[in-house]
């Protein structure tokens, strides 16, 4: 009897475990589609990711990475999703060697999954300086996912089957499959015969790139992670790290490193390329190295590649693609430039250090030669003292009245400063404004004995060179929205060669008959019109039709 | 027993006053730990040094309550110990990790909840355009088309000098009061008293209808619950109309 009970209990536990595992699998499915299966180094590849709503409720930030079969991260972007969809672009480095690479999408919350299988889509990259590509290392077929062919349920019709360069193509797509929950993307582009034969979607078991990155639900923001190590590369535990982003008002946060020397910051609503300052705070006089790490997944096993001798059709397509890309760059140099903007809407109008009790704009007064004079003449409640060539600051406390016993938080352009001599040479003409907070301020678990914030006219922060344990980084936050340009020509004669390879790429409503049209470019070859997507059971499907351009 | 209680109270206050135990004194983070990390954001404010007089008179409640704060950016802080400082309309929070009291930056707070032994009180921040335009915390008593809110405050009154129970000479007495308001997003605040006439004043065109409605429902307005009932009836009978 007792044995029976134990058996039932074990059975119940197993069922619970299986149900839980299935829930996780169901939750974390992301499906990535690209506008092209190939590109030339230096090109931009556009992607669309479909993720389930359950995922989006917890986290709405999708990571897309481009890596090599040998697990080297080539490029990565983070994009915010909306209504279960995310779309963006990834710049393929100009120097990337010819070869097959993989694009993978994931969310940070997947880090809690120990046995994670993700889909990797191949991207065939041809280096723009390669002149004669006759053989190619292609992936083996072991892990390839075969898309369900739905040519009988999604009928793609065109007005003709053979076209001339620049012709208008009229497309009719008729869905005959169950519409509920089907998500699809229509694409019309030139076919790379090599990518068509050897590319596709592969499934890989992955592991985390850096195990210390927490399984944090990124909602409307991106996680920035890194490590603090000493000169011997030993991770430093319990070190206070400050993050500063100079802006108006400035952004500030802190983190105390974990046992791996790791630190993490969550940059909410940060879009574009951020100029961030990280500094370690220690009174030990010890110098540390600050490292910012990439958040990506690595495959557990390297992809097995095999050598393929290319046929003439494949060789000439690669040649045309490389030449076309060269001419495109010549006529549209701006198209390949990546935006360098950064925006991070302020959550609160008041700076992190609180409202200034006194804001002084030195420009409104007589010019003063140094900061000692400025403190004496303009800054009420600020003591500037020099003893044995050491400068100290003390601020007056409002309540209880009296001077603080400790130094205030000193900021220059919103960045904490610990070397007071940096203030000494500041003239009133260098300064935009000075905020004095004569209060004991709390920021999380930090207490500041008043705040002295100096905003300079020069925001280049060249003075940082004199301060130790501070590093400046350029960090890619959420990717800003950008439209895929040049996808449609209006049919007018252009004063430059039209070398578009992608003509149509957009989300398509499921159900009924729909019409599309596009103009072909000056490139000859085969164009594939395809409808790709996911069935309600989250299986890849594809329906396609090929037309010839002569 | 009484003396023991006094000693304990004094010790607590001393503990709060000596708040410099785990602070950021300069270039060192040695007093902080991993528990100080919070990725979503940090609570900010100004250190508050409590005095025995403030502890006894300036707060809405005598004890520290469990509370939740929601900031303007929807960041939610739970598991806090806090008290509403009714003398200055501020929220005072105890930071256990650094053993400090601080006044939370009001401009960042959207709402907060206090769990007292009697009830859970829900406070919201509203722009009060009275004698001086400012932001104030109001207890949300009823949320319908309009809000019924209460402003809790402590007033100081000058009295004849007297010796308090510790033998200290005093000339001020502190009294807790409440002002009630109906708040509409479009029309702002209407001051209310716990009387029927006060409601009739706000709806001069519906006086007869309201009198009849209250009479029919045997409603006598003399406390918060009857005021809530009155507002519910006014909405049900579309005297207060949905926009």
Give the number of other CB atoms < 10 A from CB of residue A283.
12
Q: How far is residue A461's CA from residue A275's CA, in Å, rounded to a whole number?
A: 11
Tell me the per-residue pLDDT of A86-103, one tens digit each, with 9 for 90 and over: 999 999 999 999 999 999
Show the 3-state SS of A445-514: CEEEEEEEEEEECCCCCHHHHHCCCEEEEEEECECCCCCCCCCCCCCCCCCCCCCCCEEEEEEECCCEEE
Using the Cβ of B36 and the Cβ atoms of chain A, whether some distance falls under 8 Å is answered with yes
- Residue that is written with structure tokens 């020509």 in the block: A489
How confident is the model at residue A17, as a pLDDT? 40
CB contact under 8 A, B39 and A406: no
- Residue A266: list chain B partners with CB under 8 A: 39-40
Tell me the per-residue pLDDT of B3-30, one tens digit each, with 9 for 90 and over: 555 555 554 454 444 433 334 444 444 5
Q: What is the mean pLDDT of residues B136-145?
A: 94
Tell me the per-residue pLDDT of A408-451, one tens digit each, with 9 for 90 and over: 999 999 999 999 999 999 999 999 999 999 999 999 999 999 99
The whole-chain average pLDDT of chain B stands at 86
For residue B231 the two structure tokens come to 């507002």
CB contact under 8 A, A445 and B108: no
Q: What is the mean pLDDT of residues A521-549?
A: 87
The CA-based dihedral angle spanning residues B45, B51, B54, B55, taken in that order and rounded to the nearest 10 degrees: 90
Q: Does residue B242 have a pLDDT over 80?
A: no
Q: How far is residue B179's CA from residue B160's CA, in Å, rounded to a whole number?
A: 27
Higher pLDDT, A279 or A333: A279
Tell me the per-residue pLDDT of B48-89, one tens digit each, with 9 for 90 and over: 999 988 999 999 999 999 999 999 999 999 999 999 999 999
Residues A268, A212: contact at Cβ < 8 Å?
Answer: no
- Residue A356: list chain B partners with CB under 8 A: none
How confident is the model at residue A41, as a pLDDT? 93
**Nearest CA-CA distance, residue B127 and chain A, Å:** 16
How confident is the model at residue B26, as a pLDDT? 45
How confident is the model at residue A55, as a pLDDT? 57
How confident is the model at residue B220, as a pLDDT? 92
The whole-chain average pLDDT of chain A stands at 86
Instruction: Tell which CATH classification among 2.60.40.1930, 1.10.3720.10, 1.10.760.10, 3.30.365.10 matches the domain A11-208+299-342+482-549.
Output: 2.60.40.1930
**Nearest CA-CA distance, residue B23 and chain A, Å:** 5
How confident is the model at residue B25, as a pLDDT? 45
Q: How far is residue A196's CA from residue A320's CA, in Å, rounded to a whole number?
A: 16
How confident is the model at residue A21, as a pLDDT? 38
Residues A463, A371: contact at Cβ < 8 Å?
Answer: no
Give the number of other CB atoms < 10 A from CB of residue A207.
14
Would you tell me which residues 53-92 of chain B have a C-beta closer than 8 angstroms to some C-beta of chain A? 71-73
Query: Phi first, then psi: what are they for B199, rounded to 5°?
Result: -70, -40
How confident is the model at residue B228, as a pLDDT? 94
Tell me the per-residue pLDDT of A160-198, one tens digit each, with 9 for 90 and over: 899 998 889 999 999 887 766 677 899 999 999 999 999
Can you say whether the dihedral through the CA atoms of A399, A403, A408, A413 is positive or negative?
Answer: positive
Tell me the per-residue pLDDT of B78-97, one tens digit each, with 9 for 90 and over: 999 999 999 999 999 999 99
Nearest to A305, CA basis, from A132, A125, A99, A119:
A99
- Say which of B28, B100, B107 has its CB closest to residue A442: B100
- Residue A409: list chain B partners with CB under 8 A: 24
Q: Does residue A3 have a pLDDT over 90?
A: no
Residues A228, A288: contact at Cβ < 8 Å?
Answer: yes
For residue A124 the two structure tokens come to 């065939």
Strands (DSSP E) along chain B, which ranges?
44-47, 65-71, 76-85, 90-95, 100-104, 109-115, 120-129, 133-143, 147-163, 169-184, 188-192
Q: How far is residue A253's CA from residue B27's CA, in Å, rounded to a whole number?
A: 15
Band of residue A464 on the pLDDT scale cut at 50, 70, 90: confident
CB contact under 8 A, A348 and B72: yes
CB contact under 8 A, A282 and B28: yes
Q: What residue ranges do the domains of chain A occupy?
A: 11-208+299-342+482-549, 358-460
Q: How far is residue B162's CA from residue B177's CA, in Å, rounded to a whole number?
A: 23
Sequential DSSP letters for B12-37: HHHHHH--TTS---SS--TT--GGG-
Nearest-Cα residue of chain A relative to residue B44: A443
CB contact under 8 A, B102 and A400: no
- Residue A448: list chain B partners with CB under 8 A: 24
Nearest to B80, CA basis, from B67, B97, B98:
B67
- Say which of B19, B24, B41 has its CB closest to residue A446: B24
Nearest-Cα residue of chain B relative to residue A215: B39
How confident is the model at residue A50, as a pLDDT? 87
- Helix (H) / strand (E) containing A196: helix A193-198
- Residue B49: list chain A partners with CB under 8 A: 399-400
Q: What is the ipTM of this complex?
A: 0.85
3-state secondary structure of A436: strand
CB contact under 8 A, A240 and B28: yes
DSSP state of B115: E
Q: Residue A84's Cα: distance from chain center in Å?
A: 18
Q: How far is residue A74's CA from residue A101's CA, in Å, rounded to a whole number?
A: 9
Crossing angle of helices B207-216 and B224-236, rounded to 10°: 120
For residue A319 the two structure tokens come to 């040649």
Band of residue A460 on the pLDDT scale cut at 50, 70, 90: confident
- Say which of A256, A352, A443 has its CB closest to residue B29: A256
Q: How far is CA B120 from CA A25, B89, B112, B189, B216, in A?
A: 40, 18, 10, 24, 32
How confident is the model at residue B24, as a pLDDT? 47
How confident is the model at residue A144, as a pLDDT? 72
Tell me the per-residue pLDDT of B157-210, one tens digit each, with 9 for 90 and over: 999 998 887 888 888 999 999 999 999 988 889 999 999 999 999 898 889 999
Using the Cβ of B161 and the Cβ atoms of chain A, whether some distance falls under 8 Å is answered with no
Work out the end-to-end distance of chain B between its first and last CA atoms, rounded to an integer number of angstroms: 58
How confident is the model at residue A135, as a pLDDT? 93
Interface residues of A toward B, Cβ cutoff 8 Å, are 214, 216, 223, 238-240, 253-256, 258, 264-266, 268, 281-283, 347-350, 352, 354-355, 399-400, 406-407, 409, 418, 439-449
Nearby residues of A309 by Cβ (< 8 Å), 6 or more positions away: A134, A135
- Residue A446: list chain B partners with CB under 8 A: 23-24, 32, 36
Band of residue A334 on the pLDDT scale cut at 50, 70, 90: low
Burial of B175 (0-12, 13-18, 19+ CB in 10 A): exposed
Nearest to A224, CA basis, from A263, A166, A252:
A263
Using the Cβ of B49 and the Cβ atoms of chain A, whether some distance falls under 8 Å is answered with yes
Q: How far is residue B118's CA from residue A471's CA, in Å, rounded to a whole number?
A: 53
For residue A31 the two structure tokens come to 């499906």
Tell me the per-residue pLDDT of A5-59, one tens digit each, with 9 for 90 and over: 666 655 545 444 433 333 344 445 788 999 999 999 998 899 999 886 555 567 8
Give the number of other CB atoms < 10 A from CB of residue A492.
8
Nearest-Cα residue of chain B relative to residue A355: B105
CB contact under 8 A, B32 and A240: yes
- Say which of B28, B40, B45 has its CB closest to residue A281: B28
**Can you give the C-alpha Rg of chain A in angstroms?**
29
CB contact under 8 A, B28 and A283: yes
Question: Which string of b and e fits B4-41 if b means at least 16 CB within 10 Å?
Answer: eeeeeeeeebeebeebbebbbbebebbbbeeebbbbeb
Using the Cβ of B107 and the Cβ atoms of chain A, whether some distance falls under 8 Å is answered with yes
Q: Does residue B218 have a pLDDT over 70?
A: yes
Q: How far is residue A287's CA from residue A468's CA, in Å, rounded to a whole number?
A: 7
Tell me the per-residue pLDDT of A475-512, one tens digit each, with 9 for 90 and over: 999 998 887 765 555 555 566 778 888 899 888 877 78
Size (chain A), residues: 550
Can you say whether the dihedral through the CA atoms of B98, B104, B108, B111 is positive or negative?
Answer: positive
């Amino acid at each position: 009897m007792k044995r029976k009970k134990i058996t039932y209990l074990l059975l119940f536990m197993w069922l619970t475990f299986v149900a839980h595992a299935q829930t996780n699998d169901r939750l974390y499915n992301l499906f990535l589609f690209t506008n092209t299966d190939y590109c030339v180094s230096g090109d931009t590849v556009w992607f669309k990711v479909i993720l389930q709503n359950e995922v989006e409720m917890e986290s709405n930030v999708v990571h897309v990475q481009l890596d090599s079969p040998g697990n080297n991260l080539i490029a990565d972007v983070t994009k915010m999703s909306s209504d279960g969809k995310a779309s963006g672009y990834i710049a393929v480095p100009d120097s990337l060697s010819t070869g097959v690479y993989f694009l993978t999408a994931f969310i940070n919350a997947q880090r809690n999954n120990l046995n994670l299988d993700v889909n990797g889509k191949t991207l065939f990259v041809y280096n723009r300086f390669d002149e004669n590509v006759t053989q190619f290392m292609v992936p083996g077929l072991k892990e390839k996912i075969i898309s369900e062919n739905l040519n009988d349920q999604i009928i793609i019709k065109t007005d003709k089957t053979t076209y001339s360069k620049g012709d208008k193509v009229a497309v009719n797509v008729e869905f005959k499959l169950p519409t509920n929950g089907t998500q699809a993307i229509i694409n019309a582009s030139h076919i790379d015969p090599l990518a068509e034969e050897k590319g596709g979607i592969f499934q890989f078991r992955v592991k985390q790139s850096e195990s210390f990155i927490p399984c944090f639900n990124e909602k409307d923001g991106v996680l920035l992670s890194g490590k603090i190590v000493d000169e011997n590369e030993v991770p430093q535990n319990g070190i206070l790290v400050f993050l500063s982003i100079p802006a108006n008002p400035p952004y500030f946060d802190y983190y105390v490193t974990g046992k791996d020397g790791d630190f993490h910051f969550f940059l909410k609503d940060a879009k574009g390329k951020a100029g961030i300052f990280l500094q370690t705070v220690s009174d030990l006089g010890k110098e540390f190295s600050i490292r910012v790490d990439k958040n990506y997944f690595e495959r557990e096993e390297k992809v097995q590649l095999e050598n393929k001798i290319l046929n003439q059709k494949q060789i000439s397509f690669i040649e045309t693609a490389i030449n076309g890309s060269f001419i495109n760059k010549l006529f549209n140099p701006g198209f390949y430039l990546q935006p360098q903007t950064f925006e991070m809407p302020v959550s609160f109008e008041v700076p992190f250090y609180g409202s200034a009790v006194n804001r002084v704009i030195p420009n409104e007064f007589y010019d003063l030669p140094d900061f000692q004079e400025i403190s004496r003449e303009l800054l009420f409640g600020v003591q500037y003292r020099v003893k044995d060539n050491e400068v100290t600051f003390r601020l007056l406390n409002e309540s209880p009245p009296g001077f603080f016993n400790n130094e205030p938080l000193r900021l220059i352009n919103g960045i904490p400063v610990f070397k007071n001599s940096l203030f000494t040479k500041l003239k009133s003409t260098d300064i935009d404004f000075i905020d004095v907070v004569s209060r004991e301020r709390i920021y999380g678990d930090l207490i500041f004995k008043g705040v002295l914030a100096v905003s300079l006219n020069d925001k280049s922060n060249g003075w940082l060179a004199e301060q130790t344990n501070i590093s400046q980084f350029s960090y890619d936050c959420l990717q800003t929205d950008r439209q895929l340009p040049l996808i449609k020509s209006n049919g007018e004669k252009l004063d430059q060669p039209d070398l578009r390879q992608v003509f149509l790429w957009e989300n398509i409503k499921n159900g009924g008959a729909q019409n599309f049209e596009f103009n072909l470019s000056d490139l000859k070859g085969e164009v594939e019109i395809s409808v790709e997507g996911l069935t309600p059971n989250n299986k890849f499907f594809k329906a396609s039709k090929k037309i010839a351009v002569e | 027993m009484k003396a023991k209680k006094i000693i304990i109270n004094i010790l607590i206050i001393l503990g709060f006053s000596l708040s410099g135990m785990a602070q950021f004194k300069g270039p060192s983070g040695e007093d902080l730990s991993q528990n100080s990390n919070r990725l979503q954001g940090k609570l900010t404010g100004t250190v508050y040094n409590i005095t025995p007089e403030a502890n006894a008179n300036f707060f809405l409640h005598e004890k520290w309550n469990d509370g939740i704060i929601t900031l303007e950016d929807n960041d939610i802080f739970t598991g806090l110990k806090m008290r509403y400082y009714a003398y200055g309309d501020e929220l005072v929070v105890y930071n256990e990790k650094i053993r400090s009291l601080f006044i939370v930056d009001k401009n960042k707070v959207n709402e907060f909840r206090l769990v007292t032994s009697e009830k859970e009180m829900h406070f919201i921040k509203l722009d009060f355009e009275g004698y001086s335009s400012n932001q104030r915390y109001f207890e949300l008593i009823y949320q319908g088309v309009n809000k019924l809110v209460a402003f809790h405050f402590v007033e100081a009154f000058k009295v004849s000098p007297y010796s308090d129970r510790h033998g200290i000479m005093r000339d001020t007495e502190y009294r807790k009061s409440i002002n009630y308001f109906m708040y509409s997003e479009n029309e702002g605040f209407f001051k209310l008293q716990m009387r029927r006439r006060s409601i009739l004043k706000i709806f001069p065109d519906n006086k007869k209808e309201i009198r009849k409605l209250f009479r029919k429902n045997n409603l006598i307005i003399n406390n918060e619950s009857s005021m809530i009932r009155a507002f519910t009836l006014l909405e049900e009978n579309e005297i207060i109309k949905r926009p």
